[in-house]
Amino acid sequence: MERLQKILSRAGVASRRGAEKLMGEGRVAVNGETVRELGTKADLARDDIRVDGVRVRAPREPVYLLLYKPKGVVSTRRDPEGRPTVMDLVPPVAGLFPVGRLDVTTEGLILLTNDGAFAERVAHPRYEVARVYHAKVRGVPEAATLARLRAGVRVEGERLAVDAVRVLAAGNNTWLEVRLHEGKHHEVKRLLEAVGHPVSKLKRVALGPVTALGLAPGQFRALAPREVRALSRPRAS
Ligand code: URA
């Protein structure tokens, strides 16, 4: 049993103070009886609690998963073409959806959650969650090319730029590490193609403070509460 105002605020109906006001206004009913008494206790699992006649439901436990998406798996909830999706690789949690997209040919980290506010923050460029990619490109980019990527390149009328780029290993092909804080459609591939180094392999290896360490393709883990906090904290002021 818990005080009604606490139940209502935990269920997201109103703040504690707001819930007291609703009760005072006679808008809260328990098992069909209007309740104005502020100390009244109830049990959300057993009692029928209503505000303005609408049943109050238990708050949904938020779930935050980090999946290493393999190549060939789509990052939408359903695929009209019947290809495997990220949803096939995680438990069937109600309301779970992937945050942002990775191309079907890209592998690497993708978040899944049932917390819409969290997803919005992570996806929004203002929160500057760094997306770190390893890209295998044709040829060996020169220092001037890397500088152009940092300064910004016009691609199909849109200015795209990386926050940072460096060479990890060079040979006939080069592995680059590219850091961005937004998720425009095919951004890494379009940028590197535009400077003459098309991508043949792309992996997302980090999202803000979380890295792919310990996750093989197809594996997932729950985020620690500290990681959830770090991902949803605004970086820019
Ligand atoms: N940039 C791309 O080109 N593809 C991805 O999947 C992610 C970023």
Give me ligand 1 centre to Cα 100, in Å: 11
Same domain, 108 and 220: yes
Cβ contact 42:26 at 8 Å: no
User: Which is the closest atom of ligand 1 to the Cα of 101?
Assistant: 6
Determine the pLDDT at residue 11.
80
Phi-psi region of 31 (alpha: psi -120 to 50; beta: other; left: phi over 0): left
Rounded mean pLDDT of 172-197?
Answer: 94
53-61: list long-range contacts, CB under 8 Å, 24+ apart. Answer: 53/29, 56/7, 56/8, 56/11, 56/13, 57/11, 58/11, 59/10, 59/11, 59/12, 60/94, 60/95, 60/114
Residues 200 and 161 occupy one common structural domain: yes
Residue range 115-138: mean pLDDT, rounded: 90
Q: 134-155: b or e for each residue (b if 16 or more CB lie within 10 Å)? A: bbbbeeebeeebbebbeeebeb
User: Using CA atoms, how far apart are residues 167 and 135, in angstroms rounded to an integer?
Assistant: 10
What is the pLDDT averaged over residues 185-190? 94
Amino acid at 129: V
Residues 110 and 225 in one domain: yes
Whether residue 118 is found in the same domain as residue 16: no
Question: What atom of ligand 1 comes closest to residue 180's alpha carbon?
Answer: 8
User: Does the pLDDT at position 237 exceed 50?
Assistant: no
Task: Mark whether 86 and 71 lie in a shared domain.
Answer: yes
Give the pLDDT confidence of 100-126 residue by residue, as tens digits.
999 999 999 999 998 888 998 888 878
Report the domain count for the chain: 3
Task: Find the 185 Cα to ligand 1 centroid distance in Å.
Answer: 7
* Residue bearing the CA closest to ligand 1, atom 2: 186
106 and 174 in a common domain: no
Active site residues: 103
Cα of 64 from ligand 1 centre, angstroms: 22
pLDDT at 235: 62
* 208 pLDDT higher than 60: yes
Name the residue of 129, 176, 202 to mutate for ligand 1: max ligand atoms within 8 A of Cβ. 202
Of all residues in the chain, the percent with pLDDT exceeding 70 is: 98
**Does residue 19 sit in the same domain as residue 35?**
yes
Protein residues whose CB sits closer than 6 Å to any atom of ligand 1:
102-103, 106, 186-189, 202
Residue pLDDT, tens place only, 1-47: 999 998 988 787 888 889 999 999 999 999 999 999 998 999 998 99
Judge if 112 and 88 occupy the same domain.
yes
**Is the per-residue pLDDT at 148 higher than 80?**
yes
Asked if the structure places residue 36 within a domain, the reply is yes
The domain boundary residue, chosen from 55, 77, 96: 55
* Residue 17 located in a structural domain: yes
Inside any domain, residue 237:
no
Residue 161 lies in a domain: yes
Same domain assignment for residues 19 and 31: yes
CB 75 within 8 A of CB 42: no
- Judge if 11 and 70 occupy the same domain: no
Closest CA to 208 of 236, 228, 189, 188: 228
How many angstroms is it from 103 CA to the middle of ligand 1?
6
Query: Is 90 part of a structural domain of the chain?
Result: yes
Mutate to test the pocket of ligand 1, among 75, 106, 131, 193 (most ligand atoms within 8 A of CB): 106
